[in-house]
């Protein structure tokens, strides 16, 4: 059985679009998404630099923690947004597969934090775990970008808020 999200129709029903536009979390997501991506890019550079020449461990570690904190913030506010728009905190029809992959993303980032705090892994192993978390984040971010790009083509222009038109929020 196909869901509305898998068809060529609009991403949101008229009522969902109204709730999306009224939700304060839409704007929060619009700010957090690019901020998290910027943190990702900086952190990725620092992690790869550490893996390449074993320099800058403290900066790389701090950058992963900042990226993870932003991930937690976007996951929490994204869940609140999803509840406002679709009536459930996660796995709403329109974002089911994105939410599934998001669980992997949050699990890998959380594994990094727990491993760091419990001293379960070496510095190098931690940075490799961070890279795995970042790979999952890149896949998840790509899912959302593809979804919104397709939605931009399907939804009438007058129904898209600025943030959604830019493809930066759920």
- Distance, in Å, from the CA atom of 38 to the CA atom of 24, rounded to the nearest integer, reads 22
Q: For residue 169, what are its two tokens?
A: 């929020």
How far, CA to CA in Å, does 116 sit from each of 57, 102, 111, 134, 157? Answer: 12, 21, 8, 16, 46
Cβ atoms of residues 11 and 31 within 8 Å? no
How far, CA to CA in Å, does 59 sit from each of 38, 45, 56, 91? Answer: 15, 10, 5, 35
pTM for the model stands at: 0.83
Cα 36 versus chain centre, distance: 8
Q: Is residue 99, in this structure, part of any structural domain at all? A: yes
Q: How many domains does the chain have?
A: 1
Query: How confident is the model over 108-154, as pLDDT tens digits?
Result: 999 999 999 999 999 999 999 999 999 999 999 999 899 888 877 77
Q: Is residue 4, in this structure, part of any structural domain at all? A: no
Query: How confident is the model over 23-66, as pLDDT tens digits?
Result: 999 999 999 999 999 999 999 999 999 999 999 999 999 999 99
Q: Is residue 125, in this structure, part of any structural domain at all? A: yes
Q: Is residue 31, in this structure, part of any structural domain at all? A: yes
Buried/exposed 102-137: b ≥16 CB within 10 Å, e otherwise: beebbebbebbbebbeeeebeeeebbebbbebbebb
Full domain range(s) for residue 128: 13-149+156-165
């Amino acid at each position: 059985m196909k869901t509305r999200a898998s068809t060529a129709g609009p991403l949101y029903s008229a009522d969902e679009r109204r709730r999306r536009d009224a939700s304060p979390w839409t704007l929060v997501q619009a700010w957090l998404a690019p901020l998290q991506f910027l943190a990702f890019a900086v952190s990725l550079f620092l992690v790869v630099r550490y893996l390449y020449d074993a320099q800058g461990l403290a900066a790389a570690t701090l950058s992963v923690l900042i990226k993870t904190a932003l991930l937690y913030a976007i996951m929490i506010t994204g869940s609140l947004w999803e509840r406002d728009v679709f009536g459930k905190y996660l796995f709403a029809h329109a974002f089911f597969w994105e939410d599934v992959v998001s669980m992997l993303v949050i699990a890998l980032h959380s594994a990094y934090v727990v491993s760091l705090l419990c001293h379960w892994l070496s510095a190098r192993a931690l940075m490799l775990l961070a890279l795995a978390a970042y790979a999952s984040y890149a896949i998840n971010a790509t899912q959302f970008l593809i979804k919104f790009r397709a939605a931009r083509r399907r939804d009438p222009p007058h129904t898209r808020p600025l943030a959604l038109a830019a493809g930066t929020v759920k």
